[in-house]
């Protein structure tokens, strides 16, 4: 299991948190997603044999946020 913290720009409210946690949390291989709105960070636990970090980043960007 991999744990990673991503810096995500553009999140500003509870809807943003739900959008990111909901979309990433539904991905096969992702076991946990936690958004820290104040710090603009997303902590993710995932199985790298089931999903790539690039796919996780792409999913966040598809919601309209920038992974930096």
Structure tokens at 32: 């946990």
Tens-digit pLDDT string for the chain (68 aa): 999 999 999 999 999 999 999 999 999 999 999 999 999 999 999 999 999 999 999 999 999 999 99
What CA–CA distance (Å, rounded) separates 48 from 29? 7
Domain extent, residue 43, equals 2-67
CATH number at residue 10: 3.30.70.100
Structural domains of the chain, count? 1
What CA–CA distance (Å, rounded) separates 2 from 53? 10
């Amino acid at each position: 299991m991999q744990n990673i913290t991503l810096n995500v720009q553009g999140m500003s409210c509870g809807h943003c948190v739900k959008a990111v946690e909901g979309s990433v949390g539904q991905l096969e291989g992702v076991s946990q997603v936690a958004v820290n709105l104040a710090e603009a960070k997303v902590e993710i636990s995932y199985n790298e044999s089931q999903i790539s970090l690039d796919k996780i980043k792409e999913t966040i960007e598809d919601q309209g946020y920038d992974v930096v």
